[in-house]
Each structure stands twice: as structure tokens, then as C-alpha cells.
A and B are shown apart, each in its own frame.
Chain A
Amino acid sequence: QKEVEQNSGPLSVPEGAIASLNCTYSDRGSQSFFWYRQYSGKSPELIMSIYSNGDKEDGRFTAQLNKASQYVSLLIRDSQPSDSATYLCAVNDSGGSNYKLTFGKGTLLTVNP
């Protein structure tokens, strides 16, 4: 059973701080990693993808990948109250095709004004 683990939170940070969200995965063959943001009562929205070791930056978001440690993280700089949401980590299933993903249970982030 492939697993993707995240701290459930809640993670609470003050406005303007850096929020750090972490994810570990069990499938050593995985090559594609995603972060989704899900507001309460809404559907998941893809915000970041990363495929290579290292950092990938997009605006205030930075995804970090370390395949040797099977670890993915998402940093949110200058956190805003509008960033308050649940963040889902998703990892591709390497054993087959059809582009399946395994999702973590999500980390609830609260940004306090």
C-alpha cells in the first residue's frame, strides 16, 4: 500500500510569516509530486508541481523535493489570511500507468491576522 504522510495540523502562523508544510512518501519509484490547496467546502486546486530534486519557486510558493529522503515540502512566504486552507500532497503511483495519484490526508494551515 503506497502511503503519503502529512502532519494533520492545524499549523498556525502569523500573517507575514513563512509557513512550512511537509510530506513524506513510501513509493521510492515516484517521480511526480504535487501540492493542492483546498479551501473549506471547495474542491482541491493544483498550485505546485515538482519533478526534480531541489527547489521550485512560483511567486510566494516554493516546493522542495528530496527523493533520497522521500520528502517533499511547500514553503509559503509572506503568509496571508487568504492562504488559510488545507494543503494536500500528492504523489504519482509508479507501479502502473493511467496517471494515478496517492494523496496525503492534508495539513490544515491557519494564518492569523
Chain B
Amino acid sequence: DAGITQSPRHKVTETGTPVTLRCHQTENHRYMYWYRQDPGHGLRLIHYSYGVKDTDKGEVSDGYSVSRSKTEDFLLTLESATSSQTSVYFCAASQGSYEQYFGPGTRLTVT
């Protein structure tokens, strides 16, 4: 157990509404990552953080923003949700190595 939780675990929202997903970790991991997983695409990196207030884009960052104001929390925001953002979102964390540990995931449906 890597001490990573995600909330909410399930969410249904309407197109055009903002949505924020939360990742919380208790192991003081410096690096945190947000992925989305879709059939036929696998896991794709959205954004990542390498420290408090230090974030950068991944390969599928359009339409998403992130914030990390505390070591333990990494927030992913969909500024105006679209149906193409229906997906399963995973948070992961690492302690300065390539071994990443995943949270339980959030299933998001945009109608």
C-alpha cells in the first residue's frame, strides 16, 4: 500500500462544467503524476509534479490543469469537461526513482 488515495472514486458530470479530482498521499513522495487510461490507448501522462508548486505537462495535457500546494495533495482540474474526457484517471507517486505506485483511480463520466 503506497498510501495514495483518490477522490471522488466515481463522478458523473455534464459537458461544460469544471471538475476537480484529488490525489492524496501520506508517504511524503516528491513526485506525483496524473494519468488517464482509455481502451486502445493505455496509460497516458496528463501532468506531473516534481515538488510543491512545480508542475509540468505530459503528453495529453490539453483541457487539464494541475496544482500542488502541499506535498501530500495533487489536484487535477478539467476546466470545462468534454465527453472526450470520459475516462479512468489514476494518480501515481514516486520517491525519487522510476518506481511509481498508483492510487485506486477515479472513474469520470462526462454526459
> Could you tell me which A residues sit within 8 Å of B by CB distance?
32, 34, 42-46, 49, 88, 90, 92, 97-101, 103-106
Contact = CB atoms under 8 A, between A and B. Distances in A.
A99 B42 contact: no
B70 interface: no
Contacts of A104: 42
B56 A98 contact: yes
21 contacts: A32-B98, A34-B99, A43-B102, A43-B103, A44-B43, A46-B99, A46-B100, A49-B98, A88-B42, A90-B100, A92-B98, A98-B48, A99-B31, A99-B96, A99-B97, A99-B100, A100-B48, A101-B45, A101-B100, A103-B42, A104-B42
A92 B90 CA distance: 18
**Interface of A (DSSP majority class):** loop
A20 B44 CA distance: 25
A75 B44 CA distance: 25
Given A43-B90, A98-B56, A105 B102 contact: no
Q: Which of A42, A43, A97, A106 has the most CB of B within 10 A?
A: A43
Contacts of A32: 98
A103 B99 contact: no
Interface in B13-66: 31, 33, 40-45, 48, 50, 56, 58
Contacts of B99: 34, 46, 49
B42 A44 contact: no
A106 B48 contact: no
Contacts of B44: 103
Interface string B86-106: 000010001011111111110
Given A46-B99, A46-B100, A98-B50, A106 B31 contact: no
Contacts of B98: 32, 34, 49, 92, 99, 101
A91 B40 CA distance: 18
Given A34-B98, A103-B42, A103-B43, A44 B90 contact: yes
